[in-house]
Amino acid sequence: MRRAALALLVIGAVCLVAPGCSGQSSAQKGVADGRFVIMPWELKPGSQAMLDEPTHGLDSLRAAGFDTVAFVRPDQVAAVQKAGLRALVGRPSDLAVHWRALSDREIAARVRRLVHASGTSPAVLGYFLADEPGTADFSALGKAVAAVQRLAPGKLAYVNLLPSYATRSQLGARSYGRYLERYVAEVKPQFIGYDNYAIQLATQPQGRVRAAAYYRNLLQVRRVAQRHGLPFWVALSSKRIRAHAVAPSRALLRLQAFAALAAGAHGLTWFTYYPTRNGGTPIGENGERTATWRYLQEVNHRARTLARTLRSLRSTGVYFTRPAPASGLPLLPGELVRSVESPVPVMVGEFAGTSGKRYALVVNLSLRRAAHVVVQAARGKGRSLRLAAGQAALLKLPRPG
């Protein structure tokens, strides 16, 4: 194929892009390691017990395209290793830990017990520390993260941050940007992980403002992560997040994953896998694999396949067509893509490799409409694509002149 033409690698698939920031420390590279995390998010006794079941336990997670199990009891690590998966170790009681109430000695002792209980299996990716902490917890969490790095070198200290729609009192900061910057400065994390499920409300009038902020949140985390040379993970919804929300459709799962990856995310975390009160989960009340399971399997497997191709790339830009889903988002043209003609909103993530390779991930942001779009690169001919709702296409592009 001629260099000046757009090369369509695949439609309807995505890749997890490896961290490429020059400021990345060796410790951070050790955690990212050119590999990517696709995991469920479960931290209830009942969910952990279901991991032991033969029909909907570890084998079903592997079949659904997950490479990491989160979170498992220390005594489940051996089974995770046997299944060929990785484990983030955590116990339901860890959710109730108030790190700031512990002395330095108690923090170190608690981390030591968790590390020792988990053993030396290479399947252990890391350890759960906290979910949605405020800034008041950051100083103590920094000591816990340092303890993990000291007691289990190369392992991950897992912390999941609040979304941008959290209140000031929850954040403990005047703005979400300050919350993120304080987290990096005080905790000194190996990655930034956060959750935001508001996109599931996008089809409801009362949820449009919050759903629009989903993209601002994504780009805020991306900017801070890149500024500090850190990978970032996004926790996404694989269930009906509220009783009045829509059930996870194929388009919703695609859109969440593909938008995150177009922004350069290094991990996908699906909340949740096992049944919850509002339903819509991949595994149903009777242990059956639901439609959500099949949709999620499709997204996960495509992500894992293309990760092998694009793991050496770095995210260089994110752009939207007019009108953008939220005010203040960067609009086309980008460095690589000049324009996208489309009847639906489109997001474009641009990527570069050290060998001069250039790629763009083009995402249909509609949850309802398929569309023909025409992508015009900065160089070369345009390319016409058909994208289903929430779908994406990965394009190889010529280097800009």
What CATH number should be reported for the domain holding residue 214? Answer: 3.20.20.80
In a domain, 1, yes or no: no
pLDDT at 355: 82
- Let me know whether 203 and 257 are in one domain: yes
Quick one: 294 and 324 in the same domain?
no
Q: What is the mean pLDDT of residues 378-396?
A: 93
Residues 321, 12, 396, 262, CA torsion sign: positive
Q: Among 310, 338, 356, where does a domain finish?
A: 310
The yes-or-no verdict on residue 228 having pLDDT over 60 is yes
| Three-class secondary structure assignment of the chain | CCCCCCEEEEECCCCCCCCCCCCCCHHHHHHHCCCCEEEECCCCHHHHHHCCCCCCCHHHHHHCCCCEEEEECHHHHHHHHHCCCEEEECCHHHHHCCHHHCCHHHHHHHHHHHHHHHCCCCCEEEEEEEECCCHHHHHHHHHHHHHHHHHCCCCEEEEEECCCCCCHHHHCCCCHHHHHHHHHHHHCCCCEEEECCHHHHCCCHHHHHHHHHHHHHHHHHHHHHHHCCCCEEEEEECCCCCCCCCCCCHHHHHHHHHHHHHCCCCEEEEECCCCCCCCCCCECCCCCECHHHHHHHHHHHHHHHHHHHHCCCEEEEEEECCCCCCCCCCECCCCCEEEEECCCCEEEEEEECCCCCEEEEEEECCCCCCEEEEEEECCCCCEEEEECCCCEEEEEECCCC
Q: Which of 276, 310, 344 is the last residue of a domain?
A: 310
Is residue 19 a part of any domain in this protein? Answer: no
Domain shared by 304 and 326, yes or no: no
How much is the pLDDT for 34?
53
Number of domains comprising the chain:
2
Q: Tell me the pLDDT of the chain averaged across its residues.
A: 89
Question: Are 91 and 144 members of one domain?
Answer: yes
Window from 161-170, 269-278, 304-313, 378-387 with minimum mean pLDDT: 304-313
Which single residue is written with the structure tokens 């498992």?
72
> Residue 161: inside a domain, yes or no?
yes
Q: How far is CA 215 from CA 27, 164, 221, 234, 275, in A?
A: 29, 10, 10, 12, 28
**238 and 332 co-located in one domain:** no
- 326 in any annotated domain: yes
Domain residue limits at 191 = 26-310
* Residue 17 in domain: no
Residue type at position 22: S
The distance of Cα 230 from the centroid of its chain, to the nearest Å, equals: 13
Q: Is 242 left (phi over 0), alpha (psi -120 to 50) or beta?
A: beta
Please indicate, yes or no, whether residues 61 and 127 belong to a single structural domain of this protein.
Answer: yes
- Dump pLDDT digits (tens) for 302-351: 878 777 666 778 999 999 999 999 889 999 999 999 999 999 999 999 99
Distance CA 156, CA 301 (A): 24
Q: Do 110 and 258 lie in a common domain?
A: yes
Same domain? For 300 and 206 the reply is yes
pLDDT band at 210 (very low <50, low <70, confident <90, very high): confident
* pLDDT for residue 152 is more than 60: yes
Q: Which of 293, 310, 327 is the last residue of a domain?
A: 310
What distance lies between CA 71 and its chain's CA centroid?
16
Are 269 and 391 within one domain?
A: no
Alpha carbon of residue 265 to chain centroid:
6
Measured between alpha carbons, how far is 374 from 367 in angstroms, rounded to an integer? Answer: 19
pLDDT of residue 131: 98
Does residue 367 sit within a domain?
A: yes
Same domain, 209 and 334: no
Looking at the fold, whether 337 and 219 belong to one and the same domain comes out as no
What integer pLDDT is reported at residue 381 of this predicted model?
86
Say if 18 falls within a structural domain: no
- Work out the burial of residue 1: count CB atoms within 10 Å of its CB; fewer than 13 is exposed, 13-18 middle, 19 or more buried: exposed
With CA atoms as reference, report the closest residue to 261 among 208, 207, 299: 299
pLDDT value at residue 196: 96
The percentage of the chain sitting over the pLDDT mark of 90, rounded to a whole number, equals 78
Same domain, residue pair 347 and 272: no
Structural domain includes residue 21: no
